[in-house]
Amino acid sequence: MRLLILTPELWPTYGGVGNYVVQIAKNMPKDVEIEIAVPATLVTPSNEETILNELKAVMASNVKITFLGRSRSTPFKRLAFPWDCREFLKPLASKGEYDIIHSASTQPDFLLSPRKLSMPLVSTVHTTVEGHWQSLRSMRSRYRDLSSSEKLVLLFGPVLSLAERSYYTNSRHYITVSEWAKRTMVREKRVDPDKIRVIYIGVDSNKFSPDRKREAREIYSDLLDVEKPKVLYLSRMATRKGIGLLLRAVPKILEKVDVHFIFAGAGKRPDFNIPKQSYTYLGPVPHDHPPLLYSSSDVFVLPSLYENFPACILEAMASECAVVSTNICGIPEMIRQDENGLMIPPNDADEISRAIVRLVEDDDLRKRIGRRARMDVTQTFSWKRSSETTREFYEEVIGHHRQHRGS
């Protein structure tokens, strides 16, 4: 099988989609020839060789990396990648160069018409513009507190949502990472459910493990020397992720228990109305540091207002953190209340406070939830299983495509 993966990010911009592509490619059976097309904006002439060598160390020998377009430093460089994908595939449209094309998110193939390709197209849906826009409208946040991308979605949401609707056609096949997302696509986008396959993402339970604490001491010794329960927030500093709600809950938590908060993630630094001795702000951290932070923490909190199936929750669970998150979207497919985590209603700082205080005060509950979380993750969410199921779906789509073209 010859597979082309289109992805807007990989290395070194190693976000959620980039990690998804790396893990799928690493764990795909070796008889699959894989080419990964990424934006040329990820490299410069001076670092291209270094990045390619790093990727070769991560990837298997059956994986080839291709950079599309040219290096751009404009504010709209991300918008150019769908055009670059279209131009790259235009001369290949009728040649059958690949057996199947997989767009790792809905961005790279936005300008592609599956009907004009001789190869079937699968797209992984992580989130939708319309869902993001609707969630921002429901938030109790000031406009000035939103991130720049959230402001853009809030202002242009109706136009972007209208454009997005043209993307969801039954000439594509889709992978989504939660049952909730599939139901949403069927209901709101009118996608044929037979065109959608739910394939859960995985987690590397060796990389994300409570045993990483010894390594963490080499980098985060000051944190490990804090002799208090540690509560970790590790995500973007974005309103949608619930950072504002968490910060409103912190003073209430500190009134009842003595804990230390750790805040890590990209985005504008929030205003912390917290005593300095009660928190550590790390900002963006290197992509190999999250396992160390999870293993150093007792509780992980993600009070999101809109998600699909956040990988950080699985990573925290694999690290034996007791997780507190909201009962929205695909999160209930990960967490079973009071068994392997705690779920709370969205937009409720008081519930965030109560859940964290409960876990801090009850050592037995916190440790039991953490142990059960790791057990569940290692049994259910593996990248090997995700990749094998993805390959099976490819074969189904290829068979369906050939049958349709032959009829």
Same CATH topology for 2-202+383-406 and 210-380? yes
Bridge partners of 33, per DSSP, are: 2
pLDDT value of position 287: 85
pLDDT value of position 147: 62
pLDDT value of position 276: 92
pLDDT tens sequence across 290-312: 999 999 999 999 999 888 999 99
Pairing of strands 196-198, 2-6: unpaired
> Is there a contact between 139 and 241 (Cβ–Cβ < 8 Å)?
no
Q: What percent of the chain stands above pLDDT 90?
A: 60
> Is there a contact between 164 and 171 (Cβ–Cβ < 8 Å)?
no
pLDDT value of position 403: 82
Q: Which CATH code fits 2-202+383-406?
A: 3.40.50.2000
Per-domain residue ranges of the chain:
2-202+383-406, 210-380
> Is there a contact between 174 and 197 (Cβ–Cβ < 8 Å)?
yes
Residue 329 in tokens: 């979207």
Radius of gyration (Cα) for the chain, nearest Å? Answer: 22
The residue type at 320: E
Q: Phi-psi region for residue 320, left (φ > 0), alpha (ψ -120 to 50) or beta? A: left
From edge to edge, which strands make up the β-sheet containing 2-6? Answer: 63-68, 33-39, 2-6, 100-103, 121-125, 173-176, 196-198
Burial class, 189, CB count within 10 angstroms (exposed 0-12 / middle 13-18 / buried 19+)? middle
Q: What is the SS3 string spanning the chain?
A: CEEEEECCCCCCCCCHHHHHHHHHHHHCCCCCEEEEEEEHHHCCCCCHHHHHHHHHHHCCCCEEEEEECCCCCCCCHHHHHHHHHHHHHHHHCCCCCCCEEEECCCCCCCCCCHHHCCCCEEEEECCCHHHHHHHHHHCCCCHHHCCHHHHHHHHHHHHHHHHHHCCCCCCCEEEECCHHHHHHHHHHHCCCHHHEEECCCCCCCCCCCHHHHHHHHHHCHHHHCCCCCEEEEECCCCHHHCHHHHHHHHHHHHHHCCCEEEEECCCCCCCCCCCHHHEEEEECCCCCCHHHHHHCCCEEEECCCCCCCCHHHHHHHHCCCEEEEECCCCHHHCCCECCCEEEECCCCHHHHHHHHHHHHHCHHHHHHHHHHHHHHHHHHCCHHHHHHHHHHHHHHHHHHHHHHHHC
pLDDT value of position 273: 86
The residue type at 148: S
Identify the CATH class of 210-380. Answer: alpha beta
Bridge partners of 173, per DSSP, are: 122
pLDDT tens sequence across 128-162: 666 666 666 666 666 566 666 666 666 666 667 67
CB neighbour list of residue 379: distance below 8 Å, 6 or more residues apart: none
Q: Residues of the chain whose pLDDT is less than 50? A: 75
| Global pTM value | 0.89
pLDDT value of position 13: 58
CB neighbour list of residue 378: distance below 8 Å, 6 or more residues apart: 205, 318
